[in-house]
């Protein structure tokens, strides 16, 4: 038996040898070893006390049994009540490498920003009633002052669908039958977020065309666009994104900003603000946030931000070429701000990378000519397909030389591609809560993340569209990943955090600086866990 | 671009090179190439005409969008209406390597077998009503004639719970309020099978303890045991299992038979029939079936059957040792019938292999001493756990030298274990529909089978507990796997079928014979597809 147990131990070590949190790669400190034990103990305890399968929680279809890593939208409030969540909230998170800017600020905060702007008007394409509350979606737009209306209400029987009402009037006079001003808030916020009934009810499918959950997902961006793509709101939105990220322990952000629309609506209500002004505004806000942190003696908490230029995976190759040229011009003007290039949108139903391969090859050629480097950061493999166009995007992303892969969900099916990622250091930006809500994974234990980590592929955990999913910051994603596996420990968290800086677009010196800051904060975090553990023991 | 496309093609080939259906391993015939195209075309067409995501099907919670590989229990009747199902029904399936005997005969057929036995009595542990129809489960038992009762009804107000009623009386006089005799059938069959509302409703979870879907699953065996473990029914049950398998194109079966109970109830109603008589009976029925096939000129359709001796993964190591010794004795008496040894039951909540490791090591030693070989065929990794005891069972199964792995669901997370399986030729008995109904996978596209196949691990598709899940035969499992991937083609089907013979417990000569028979039937199947394709073209 002794011999057997020895062989067994060796087999496990060998099987897990590719993992980046493997003991062979870095010797943990004594404090870390103890803190790891504290975290594991709390996880084990809460698996019984909180996630007891005999307990149930309300669910769109009645009740749902509890389990660790269960569906996020039904588990959210329970998660927030746990000790583990309290601890992970204190964790320094490193970089946020995959988030779509337009879905990074809480819906209620966005609505408050909008309420401050008298230019913002709202309209409804149909008659609002209890029956149409979920299907008649608000449309927003900032109007030039000459077009401002005085219409009193969007719910009055006299309301003419599709006419603009000032947002403050619409809210103040929202019909009592629909809940009054709070009803207005529910209507708007409901259109900006995915609710449990939508994710886990009849929208529950990822089938190829006409995906209901993806339809709802897409519609949230249609609703928010009219609010966000307006200079006075956009600048405050960016500020809020940076500040709320910092508050969650994130020290660097690399958002994807969608440049599909060639202009933003200016303060004058005219759609006339070109992309370079977006960059100027972004930089100004970024500097203001950094200055404010420095003034508070908190400069160490945040190293900065770069932007992944994104457009949509629709249209002709010629149309795409306008964007690659636009991106080149911006990179030349803002070399320190342009981190990379991507095309975004639902992979299963929109265009595959191969359609644009020649544009991308020319883009690389043009970069050489101009002496600039704009790495691809392609979305690829965000699909359940096996050999489908979306799955095959992984081959193209890698062949085109992508620096990281957005999602790469289906890569666990590809032994050679995982090998390439491992060897070339192509990091996956994995968004577990996003994947679960968009019904790629039924729950966390079904997510391929453990398979991918065990194959030695570098991963950065990301939130994708936190404003739509309600997973603000990164604490929720780290939580869900941590509880769904008995292999994951403190060293796993550390490697995920470190990788999010190592595989960022920061320069080598910036990375060293960021990692040095991280090391200090990590040591404080480890102490915090130990103190938490001691307090727990005293209490029990 | 030309260069790019060439590299892309090579990358795909390399990534898929480990697959056993890869062109490098076997050159398909011209007929096969054409038949493969026919199958793919039908799949593509039916993905639009049948599995259109705009269509919905009734579901426990209202309606469910259609998609290929969707939840089996809601898709079942749609599947049966497809051309692809009609074609796959004609496919020779090779061997069935993973099925629990007690769940291999349709529930309605079992009930009919029981109705012929006046010794069979039924009782209810509580009062039956519409409200308790799903919770008060029938208990069956064959009684010695001296104990037969004349009680008229199990639903009469005068019925005293837990008293035995002759099954025929119970059925005939089942209360009209509960549906009369048909209501009785529904009551019994509902207790023997998992219904959509149970799999996809509130039972929808695989959490560790007290798993509702696993509870229901387990209860079906409690109900059926009283019927099946009775010699006059058991023998007919075995015959029905063999005949229905043959009718589905299966040419060899290797069922797991549970020897947990040390005795079967004899025709006299006494529990006094030991295991060796079970083997004698099994062999007699097997020979009768073979003789009957031979008489019909159909000897080529079926090569035989062997038994995997199974007991439960509960109890002490000492208790297990009784079974390993029992198995050794049976192997000596029936060397041609004992195929292997396994312990079965819910891995997430019952005992891990490591608990019994020393018993297994001694068992191997004893085999050496006695000059017999009884390979392990361990269930392992039938779990969503990551590093949990059930997941870790994979290490023990492999270290103990398992010949095949029952399920091995979580092996896609283990790079080194997949390598060992590939190199040592350890085949996985994968049961996709079982996994989906027991909520390991939300639907077929979430199943790890493609990842496992792409890593070059041999797989035999199996039905596990078809009587409980309603996936009789192997056609349903092949169907679900085929439609859920665009990589799978005719060559994939062929490799899965061939592997089910190659990795069976047949001797080398028997395998050669079985494969030769299979080759002939496969050629006929390919012709059948081609004719089907031609007929389709003429129709359109």
Q: What is the pLDDT of residue A197?
A: 83
DSSP state of B122: E
Q: What is the pLDDT of residues A231-260, one digit of tens each?
A: 999 999 999 999 999 999 999 999 999 999
Q: What is the mean pLDDT of residues B67-95?
A: 96
Please name the residue of chain B whose CA is at the shortest distance from the CA of residue A447. B446
Residues B101 and B113 occupy one common structural domain: no
Q: Is A13 left (phi over 0), alpha (psi -120 to 50) or beta?
A: alpha
Residues B125 and B176 occupy one common structural domain: yes
H/E stretch holding B159 = none
Quickly state the pLDDT bin for B212 (edges 50, 70, 90). Answer: confident
Looking at the complex, report in whole angstroms how far the Cα of residue A150 sits from the nearest Cα belonging to chain B: 42
Chain-chain contact of B11 with A392 (C-beta, under 8 angstroms): no
Contacts of A415 in chain B (CB under 8 A): 15, 18, 454-456
Q: What is the pLDDT of residues A251-304, one digit of tens each?
A: 999 999 999 999 999 999 999 999 999 999 999 999 999 999 999 999 999 999
Label residues B83-114 b or e (16+ Cβ within 10 Å = b): bbbebbbebbbbbbbbbbbbbbbbbebbbebb
Q: What is the pLDDT of residue A208?
A: 41
Going by C-alpha positions, the residue among B498, B496, B456, B504 that lies closest to residue B479 is B496
Residues A319 and A422 occupy one common structural domain: yes
Q: What is the pLDDT of residue A205?
A: 55
Instruction: Note down the domain range covering B286.
Output: 94-106+228-504
A213-222, B4-13, B391-400: the lowest-pLDDT one: A213-222
Domain assignment present for B71: no
Contact A44, A82 (CB under 8 A): no
Q: What is the pLDDT of residue B323?
A: 98
Facing B4 at nearest CB: one of A53, A64, A357: A357
Q: What is the pLDDT of residue B53?
A: 76
- pLDDT value at A209 more than 80: no
Q: What is the mean pLDDT of residues B359-366?
A: 98
Looking at the complex, report in whole angstroms how far the Cα of residue A216 sits from the nearest Cα belonging to chain B: 15
Looking at the complex, report in whole angstroms how far the Cα of residue B466 sits from the nearest Cα belonging to chain A: 24
Domain assignment present for B122: yes
- Quote the ipTM score: 0.94
Helices B508-539/B30-49 angle, 10° precision: 60
Domain assignment present for B192: yes
Structure tokens at B160: 């005293």
Residues A195 and A239 occupy one common structural domain: no
Residues B447 and B468 occupy one common structural domain: yes
Please name the residue of chain A whose CA is at the shortest distance from the CA of residue B14. A416
Chain-chain contact of A15 with B62 (C-beta, under 8 angstroms): no
- pLDDT value at B207 more than 70: no
Q: What is the pLDDT of residues B423-436, one digit of tens each?
A: 999 999 999 999 99
Contacts of B11 in chain A (CB under 8 A): 395, 398-399, 416
Structure tokens at A170: 């619409």
Please name the residue of chain B whose CA is at the shortest distance from the CA of residue A360. B1
Contacts of B211 in chain A (CB under 8 A): 53
- Average of per-residue pLDDT values in chain A: 95
Quickly state the pLDDT bin for A536 (edges 50, 70, 90). Answer: confident
Q: What is the pLDDT of residue A493?
A: 98
Quickly state the pLDDT bin for B196 (edges 50, 70, 90). Answer: confident
Boundary-marking domain end, from B199, B220, B241: B220
Facing B212 at nearest CB: one of A65, A207, A398: A65
Chain-chain contact of B204 with A395 (C-beta, under 8 angstroms): no
Looking at the complex, report in whole angstroms how far the Cα of residue B255 sits from the nearest Cα belonging to chain A: 29
Q: What is the pLDDT of residue A64?
A: 75
Residues B232 and B199 occupy one common structural domain: no
Q: What is the mean pLDDT of residues B114-140?
A: 96
Q: What is the pLDDT of residue B205?
A: 55
Q: Where do we find the tokens 């398998």?
A: B245
Q: What is the pLDDT of residue B210?
A: 39
Facing A387 at nearest CB: one of B392, B442, B485: B485
Q: What is the mean pLDDT of residues B368-381?
A: 98
Q: What is the pLDDT of residues A109-156, one digit of tens each?
A: 999 999 999 999 999 999 999 999 999 999 999 999 999 999 999 999
Q: What is the pLDDT of residue A203?
A: 55
Chain-chain contact of A65 with B205 (C-beta, under 8 angstroms): yes
Boundary-marking domain end, from B163, B195, B220: B220
**Pairing outcome for strands A56-59 and A62-65:** antiparallel
Chain-chain contact of B53 with A454 (C-beta, under 8 angstroms): no
Contacts of B18 in chain A (CB under 8 A): 415
Domain assignment present for A167: yes
Chain-chain contact of A386 with B439 (C-beta, under 8 angstroms): no
Residues B213 and B236 occupy one common structural domain: no
The domain tally of chain A equals 3
Domain assignment present for A72: no
B17-26, B266-275, B409-418: the lowest-pLDDT one: B17-26
Share of chain B above pLDDT 70, in %: 97
Quickly state the pLDDT bin for A206 (edges 50, 70, 90). Answer: low
Q: What distance lies between CA B46 and its chain's CA centroid?
A: 26
- pLDDT value at B62 more than 70: no
Quickly state the pLDDT bin for B326 (edges 50, 70, 90). Answer: very high
Residues A99 and A114 occupy one common structural domain: no
Helices A30-49/A508-539 angle, 10° precision: 60
Q: What is the pLDDT of residue B61?
A: 63
Domain assignment present for B72: no
Chain-chain contact of A202 with B65 (C-beta, under 8 angstroms): yes
Please name the residue of chain A whose CA is at the shortest distance from the CA of residue B57. A202
Helices B72-80/B475-483 angle, 10° precision: 100
Contacts of A201 in chain B (CB under 8 A): 61-62
**Beta bridge mates, B307:** B338
Greater confidence, B185 or B22? B185
- Count Cβ–Cβ pairs < 8 Å, chain A vs chain B: 180
Question: What is the distance between the alpha carbons of residues B120 and B233, in angstroms, rounded to a whole number?
Answer: 10
Looking at the complex, report in whole angstroms how far the Cα of residue B120 sits from the nearest Cα belonging to chain A: 36
Boundary-marking domain end, from B220, B253, B284: B220
Chain-chain contact of B63 with A202 (C-beta, under 8 angstroms): yes
Residues B386 and B302 occupy one common structural domain: yes
Residues A203 and A288 occupy one common structural domain: no
Q: What is the pLDDT of residue A61?
A: 63
- pLDDT value at A314 more than 60: yes
For residue A103, CA distances in Å to A194, A215, A272, A278, A540 come to 12, 16, 23, 17, 42
Share of chain A above pLDDT 70, in %: 97
Chain-chain contact of B202 with A11 (C-beta, under 8 angstroms): no
CATH number at residue A229: 3.20.20.140
Q: What is the pLDDT of residues A35-50, one digit of tens each?
A: 999 999 999 999 999 9
Share of chain B above pLDDT 90, in %: 91
- pLDDT value at A207 more than 60: no
Domain assignment present for B391: yes
Chain-chain contact of A208 with B67 (C-beta, under 8 angstroms): yes
Q: What is the mean pLDDT of residues A65-80?
A: 94
Measured in degrees and rounded to the nearest 5, phi and psi for residue B376 equal -70, 145
Chain-chain contact of A208 with B454 (C-beta, under 8 angstroms): no
Q: Is A186 left (phi over 0), alpha (psi -120 to 50) or beta?
A: alpha
Q: Which of B75, B354, B387 to mutate to test the interface with A (most CBs of A within 10 A)?
A: B387
Contacts of A208 in chain B (CB under 8 A): 47, 53, 67
**Beta bridge mates, A427:** A404
Q: Is the dihedral of CA B232, B233, B235, B240 positive or negative?
A: positive
Q: Which of A15, A19, A400, A443 to mutate to test the interface with B (most CBs of B within 10 A)?
A: A15
Q: What is the DSSP string of A11-46?
A: HHHHHTTT-TTSTTT-PPPHHHHHHHHHHHHHHHHH
B94-96 sheet: strands from edge to edge = B94-96, B250-253, B304-305
Q: What is the pLDDT of residue A212?
A: 76
Residues A462 and A407 occupy one common structural domain: yes
Domain assignment present for A438: yes
H/E stretch holding A56 = strand A56-59
Residues A417 and A528 occupy one common structural domain: no
Q: Where do we find the tokens 């591609």?
A: A417
């Amino acid at each position: 038996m002794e011999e057997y147990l020895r062989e067994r131990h060796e087999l496990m070590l060998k099987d897990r040898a590719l993992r980046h949190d493997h003991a062979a790669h870095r010797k943990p400190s004594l404090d870390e070893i103890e803190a790891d034990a504290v975290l594991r103990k709390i996880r084990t305890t809460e698996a019984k006390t909180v996630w007891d399968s005999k307990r149930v929680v309300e669910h769109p279809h009645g009740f749902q049994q509890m389990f660790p890593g269960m569906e996020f939208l039904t588990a959210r409030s329970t998660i927030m009540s746990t000790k583990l969540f309290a601890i992970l909230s204190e964790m320094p998170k490193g970089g946020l490498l995959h988030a779509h800017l337009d879905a990074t600020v809480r819906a209620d905060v966005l609505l408050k920003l909008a309420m401050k702007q008298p230019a913002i008007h709202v309209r409804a394409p149909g008659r609002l009633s209890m029956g149409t509350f979920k299907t008649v979606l608000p449309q927003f737009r900032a109007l030039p002052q000459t077009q401002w209306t005085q219409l009193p209400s969007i719910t009055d029987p006299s309301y003419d669908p599709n006419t603009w009402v000032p947002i403050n009037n619409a809210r103040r006079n929202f019909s009592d039958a629909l809940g009054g001003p709070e009803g207005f808030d529910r209507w708007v916020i409901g259109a900006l977020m995915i609710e449990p009934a939508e994710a886990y009810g009849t929208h529950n499918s990822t089938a190829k065309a006409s995906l209901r959950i993806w339809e709802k997902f897409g519609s949230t961006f249609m609703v928010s666009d009219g609010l966000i793509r307006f200079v006075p709101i956009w600048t405050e939105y960016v500020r809020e994104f940076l500040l709320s990220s910092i508050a969650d322990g994130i020290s660097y952000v690399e958002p994807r900003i969608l440049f599909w629309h060639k202009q933003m609506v200016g303060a004058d209500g005219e759609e006339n603000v070109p992309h370079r002004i977006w960059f100027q505004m972004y930089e100004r806000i970024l500097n203001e946030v950094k200055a404010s942190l420095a003034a508070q003696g908190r400069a160490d908490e945040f190293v900065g931000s770069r932007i992944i230029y994104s457009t949509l995976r629709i249209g002709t190759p010629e149309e795409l070429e306008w964007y690659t040229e636009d991106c080149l011009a911006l990179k030349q003007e803002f070399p320190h701000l342009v981190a990379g290039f991507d095309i975004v949108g639902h992979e299963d139903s929109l265009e595959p990378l191969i359609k644009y391969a020649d544009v991308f090859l020319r883009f690389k050629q043009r970069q050489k000519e101009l002496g600039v480097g704009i790495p691809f950061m392609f979305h690829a493999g965000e699909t359940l397909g096996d050999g489908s166009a979306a799955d095959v995007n992984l081959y193209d992303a890698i062949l085109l030389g992508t620096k990281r892969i957005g999602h790469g969900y289906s890569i666990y099916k590809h032994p050679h591609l995982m090998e390439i990622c491992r060897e070339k250091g192509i990091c996956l930006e994995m968004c577990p809560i996003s994947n679960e809500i968009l019904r790629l994974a039924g729950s966390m234990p079904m997510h391929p993340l453990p398979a991918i980590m065990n194959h030695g592929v570098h991963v950065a955990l990301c939130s994708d569209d936190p404003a739509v999913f309600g997973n603000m910051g990164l604490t929720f994603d780290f939580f869900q990943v941590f509880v769904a596996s008995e292999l994951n420990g403190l060293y796993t968290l550390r490697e995920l955090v470190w990788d999010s800086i190592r595989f960022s677009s920061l320069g080598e010196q910036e990375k060293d600086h960021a990692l040095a800051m991280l090391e200090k904060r990590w040591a404080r975090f480890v102490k915090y866990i130990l103190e938490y553990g001691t307090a727990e023991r005293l209490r029990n």
